Amino acid sequence: MSDESTFDPAWRLQLVKYFCAASLTLQGYDWLICLNREIDTIWLRPWRGVKVLYLVSRYIPFVHLGSALYYYVAPEPTMLMCQTLDAAATWFTAVGIIVSEAMLMMRTYAIFNCSKKILVFLLAMLAVLVGVAFPTLVVFLRSVQFGQPPTGTISGCYPVSGSEIIFVAFIAILLFETIIVALTVYSALKHYRRKSSPIIKVLYRDSLFFFLCIFSITLANVLVAALLPIDSAHLLNRLQASIHSIVSTRIIFHLRQEFHADLDMGPLSRANAVTMSLHFIPGDGRDSHGLSL
């Protein structure tokens, strides 16, 4: 085996480790700089569905990124340890992404004035996403085989073979996100000429920004899974999950802040917010209808 062929797998493995460490650092940094807002807008508010989704989306990345990082640096890991760590990190990653997609779905539901038809459609699409992605992950995880790292100086688990079916899961995510942005653009065009309150503008702005962020990383993941060797299969999926978490949780911050600012502007803005059927309850827990965040 030539020096070049020995270097390439080792370099790829190190690159995957760096991306994982960078994702964990990014997640921790974002948590620190947003902690004050999180306390004000999440922890001090009543327990509701979106609060639970927020906490899962915000904190589950620390679990799967921690598991993944140990997967890459564990000294002399056994086959069973590698399989267990790989499965744990992969499933926690999948759950985190699905929860972030659910938050995106709920925001789209709000944009359409809490339409039951839209809700049923989005729930059906989310069910299809889960129905495609989860079995795909099962097949992929069962197919992965581990071997010795290409050089003796590299620690951690080293996958040597596995199914390329993993890219199907990323395609399913990509299609779901495409549907979400198509609905968002349709609604934005429909209301383009109407006078909108700041909260409605935030909904459209953040929806499109969210899509652009995650569409790019999801598309890159599809290409990585389809084109690169199995040892690079996890190159970007940890970063993808981290970006999902960071952007979706920031959207909740923006919505709640804009809503309370909207209330301070007077009855007209308050009426516009009610028209959207978005109710962010300050603390007494009372609401009449709509989406409670």
Which of the four pLDDT bands, split at 50, 70 and 90, describes residue 11?
Answer: confident
Q: Stretch 103-126: mean pLDDT, rounded?
A: 88
By CB atoms closer than 10 A (0-12, 13-18, 19+), residue 109 is buried
CA distance 38 to 31: 9
pLDDT of residue 122: 94
Amino acid at 259: F
**How far apart are the C-alpha atoms of 289 and 219, rounded to whole Å?**
37
Residue scoring higher pLDDT (10 or 290)? 10
Alpha carbons within 13 A on the beta-carbon side of 53: 22
* Contact indicator for 143, 161 with CB cutoff of 8 Å: yes
pLDDT for residue 291: 52
DSSP 230: G
With CA atoms as reference, report the closest residue to 19 among 62, 72, 56, 63: 72
Q: How confident is the model at residue 224 (pLDDT cuts 50, 70, 90)?
A: confident
d(CA 265, CA 71): 52
The residue type found at 184 is T
**Arithmetic mean of pLDDT over the chain:** 79
3-state SS assignment for residue 147: strand
DSSP character at residue 47: P
Q: What is the pLDDT of residue 292?
A: 52
Q: For 149-165, what is the mean pLDDT? A: 79
CB 34 within 8 A of CB 59: no
Read off the pTM: 0.79
Mean pLDDT over 174-194 rounds to: 81
Token code pair at residue 276: 């959207």
Residue 59 is predicted with a pLDDT of 94
Output the six-digit token pair for 70. 């140990």
How much is the pLDDT for 270?
39
CA 70 to chain centre: 21
pLDDT in the model for residue 83: 92
Say what the pLDDT of residue 127 is: 95
The predicted pLDDT at position 274 comes to: 36
Which CATH entry fits the domain spanning 3-285: 1.20.1070, 2.40.128, 1.10.3470, 1.10.4160?
1.20.1070
Pairing of β 158-161 and β 278-279? unpaired
Per the CB < 8 A criterion, the answer to whether 184 and 256 are in contact is: no
Residue 182 backbone phi and psi in degrees, to 5 = -65, -40
pLDDT category of residue 92 using cuts at 50, 70 and 90: very high
Tell whether the model's pLDDT for residue 27 goes beyond 90. yes
Name the nearest CA neighbour of 59 among 241, 208, 185, 215.
241
Whether residue 256 is predicted with pLDDT greater than 80 in this model: the reply is no
pLDDT the model gives residue 263: 42
